[in-house]
C-alpha cells in the first residue's frame, strides 16, 4: 500500500473513532438525582416552647442540586401527591457539602395547639429533588414517622 493511501486511511479511522466515541458519550443516559441518608425527627411542644418536625436528606446529582421540595401529610388523609403538585410546596434549605451533593433540611414548627389537633398515627413525607440540569426524582414516601411516639 502506498503512503498516499495509508495516511488518509489512518486519519479517516481516527476521525471515525473520535466521532463514534463522542456519539457514545453523548448518548449515555442522563442520571436523575439521588436522595439518601434520610432522617426525620419530631420534637413535641413543651411549656411555652414550640415543637418541630425536621426532615433532612443528602441530594446528589452530577450537575449539582437546585433544591428539594417537601410535603408532610397524615397517612389517614390518603393523599396521593404527584411530582407536578410537589412543585408548589415548601422548599428545604440546601447547602453544598461536596461536589454535586447538598444537605437539605426542612423544618416545620408546631405549636401546642397545632400538636393537639394533629391526626394520630403515621405521617408521610414526600420529596421532590431537582438537579441543576432540571432532572428530578419524586419520592412519594421518602420517610414515615409517628409524632405520637
| Per-residue confidence (pLDDT) for residue 29, from 0 to 100 | 62
| Per-residue confidence (pLDDT) for residue 61, from 0 to 100 | 98
d(CA 43, CA 16): 62
CB 122 within 8 A of CB 145: yes
CB 60 within 8 A of CB 66: no
Parse the chain into domains and list their residue ranges: 1-30, 34-145
| Per-residue confidence (pLDDT) for residue 47, from 0 to 100 | 84
| Per-residue confidence (pLDDT) for residue 15, from 0 to 100 | 41
Tell me how many helices (H) and strands (E) the chain has: 3, 7
Q: Along the 149 residues of the chain, how does pLDDT read in single tens digits?
A: 444 443 344 344 444 444 444 444 455 566 899 999 999 999 999 888 999 999 999 999 999 999 999 999 999 998 999 999 999 999 999 999 999 999 999 999 999 998 888 888 999 999 999 999 999 999 999 999 988 76
| Per-residue confidence (pLDDT) for residue 30, from 0 to 100 | 65
| Overall pTM > 0.75 | yes
Which CATH architecture group holds 34-145?
Answer: Sandwich (2.60)
DSSP class of residue 76 equals G
Amino acid at each position: 500500500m502506498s503512503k498516499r493511501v495509508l495516511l488518509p486511511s489512518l486519519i479517516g479511522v481516527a476521525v471515525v473513532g473520535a466521532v463514534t466515541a463522542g456519539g457514545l458519550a453523548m448518548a449515555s443516559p442522563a442520571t436523575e438525582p439521588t436522595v439518601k441518608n434520610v432522617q426525620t425527627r419530631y420534637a413535641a411542644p413543651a411549656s411555652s416552647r414550640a415543637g418541630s418536625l425536621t426532615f433532612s436528606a443528602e441530594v446528589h446529582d452530577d450537575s449539582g442540586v437546585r433544591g428539594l421540595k417537601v410535603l408532610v401529610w397524615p397517612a389517614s388523609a390518603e393523599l396521593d401527591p404527584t411530582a407536578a403538585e410537589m412543585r408548589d410546596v415548601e422548599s428545604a434549605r440546601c447547602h453544598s457539602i461536596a461536589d454535586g451533593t447538598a444537605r437539605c433540611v426542612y423544618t416545620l414548627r408546631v405549636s401546642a395547639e397545632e400538636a393537639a389537633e394533629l391526626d394520630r398515627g403515621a405521617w408521610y413525607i414526600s420529596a421532590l429533588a431537582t438537579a441543576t440540569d432540571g432532572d428530578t426524582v419524586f419520592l412519594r414516601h421518602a420517610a414515615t414517622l409517628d409524632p405520637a411516639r
